[in-house]
Amino acid sequence: MQLTGSQVIIECLKEQGVDTVFGYPGGAILNVYDELYKHPEIKHVLTSHEQGASHAADGYARSTGKVGVCLATSGPGATNLVTGISTAYMDSIPIVAITCNVGVSLLGKDSFQEIDIAGITTPVTKYSFIVKDVEKLADTIRRAFDIARKGRPGPVLVDIPKNVTADLVEYTRQEIKLPERVTETITDSDIDNAIELIKASKKPYIFVGGGVVLSGASKELKEFVDKVNAPVCDTLMGKGAYDGTSDNYTGMLGMHGTKTSNLGVSECDLLIAIGTRFSDRVLGNPKKFADQAKILQFDVDAAEINKNIRVTSSVIGDVKEILTRINKKLTQLDHNSWVEHVLAYAKTFPLTYHKEGLSGPFVIEKIYEMTKGNAIMVTEVGQHQMWAAQYYKYSKPRTLLTSGGLGTMGYGLGAAIGAQTANPDRTVVNIAGDGCFRMNMNELATASREKLPLIEVIINNHVLGMVRQWQTLFYEKHYSATVLDDGVDYVKLSEAMGATARRVKTQEEFEKAFADALKSKTPFVIDCIIDSDDKVWPMVAPGKPINESFDEEDYNATQGGN
């Protein structure tokens, strides 16, 4: 049948099973929005800003495992998506961004709101398309979804000139076949080498990254951990892939990881890294990282092998399939004495914070208690993000949504909108700092319009907390451009945008406010006033080995008790 390009776009979204899109209309994309108007089966969430749309698509994707979709018009509409696309790219999140451009005859002429968005996004997407011929439109959209899902997931952009959205073309519906898992790169010899390394190890440690979440391999990971009988640590992106309430779970690894994980990995003789890219925040000093250990890496992306750290052996392919094959061949091992040795560190060096007064760690622990660990936790970026990683126990995958690679301030509220839209019956909590909140707080208007019962918790220390922490520790307390004590009233702002809001200064006030938030049917903002100099402990100084992690007591000792 003959359809316009706009009709083809909508039909292709329906082919892919898309039920929700996030976006903001404009001149170049009007034909698409006119067609979308006729299809109420696809829910459109109008965000307050295109960046909010891209973060919402990301949060939708992270919380469901489906491809998130966002729409924007040409020029600034398209460029406003770039931060969200980059965020998804760094964390391997499948989204498809559809933009529309000026007509083909106007391309390259500096036309009004013309921009080469495909060129701009090429470095931060798996692929960027511009479709100048309506005959290629349907296949390009199908290919975009396939690329976004396949192998290591990631964002794809499709830019469509306005005339293409109006041109007619013959369209035939296709049944979509989801891409198969990457298995052709998994060899028997690599599997056997991995098993030999594991069997020869006396002190193995299992290090879990976001790839386990993306591949849906939590069940296989649990079986593998039980067979190896080893302690487990994770990255920020790996939270929930392994049950954080398990006895042999030792917490996050790296700059703000636990002393237990950092010391244990520094002593192990085999580090089994699963679906992780060895970021600089994990490695500390790469020359001294796990320097007593052989390193075995499982990853779907061959480019990650030997990129940041030299490994002894690797298996390349889908993590779920790799673990399935290893589990079939691996016999039960006994490393009880090693596990007990590592867990002794947990008793000696537990995560601690000052119990009096309102603080970030208290807020996170209380949220965990009051949600019974069943919330979808979303964060912005900074101290509050680290506290959310440290003090909430993630027992299931896709329950912590956070910008790990790009570290995008302003990510959380949009992502929480995406997660709440996709999971209407779940409790969704966004943890923000006051610096992050002010970046995209306009999305509260979106949450209010959509009547989303998400809970926004602002850890308000009136400063850019993490930057101030570095200024305190490494820059002689030169607080350059990090003080935010400017009289902005977040409660009034939130109420003005249709949310319920409370300001709390004590533990008791927070508990009462959060209990009310859990019963709310609309957005609820809690402005938590904490001390400006609260810090995230422990910490590894930049460039230092991870076994030189220090906490508040260590720091005060080096400062003569000050």
Active site residues: 50, 112-113, 162, 466
Residue found under tokens 């049917």: 521
Contact yes or no for 164/134 (Cβ under 8 A): yes
Cβ-Cβ contacts under 8 Å for 323 (sequence gap 6 or more): 217, 220, 221, 223, 224, 274, 298
Q: How far apart are CA 546 and CA 535, in angstroms?
A: 18
413-438: b (≥16 Cβ within 10 Å) or e: bbbbbbbbbbbeebbbbbbbbbbbbb
Helices of type H across 180-310: 188-200, 210-215, 218-228, 259-267, 280-283
Strand positions, DSSP E, 228-366: 232-234, 249-252, 270-274, 294-299, 313-316
Q: What's at 532, amino acid-wise?
A: S
C-beta of residue 440 within 8 angstroms of C-beta of residue 413? yes
CA angle (276 as vertex; 270, 278 as ends), nearest 5: 75
CB 533 within 8 A of CB 527: no
- Closest to 211 measured CA to CA, from 314, 333, 363: 314
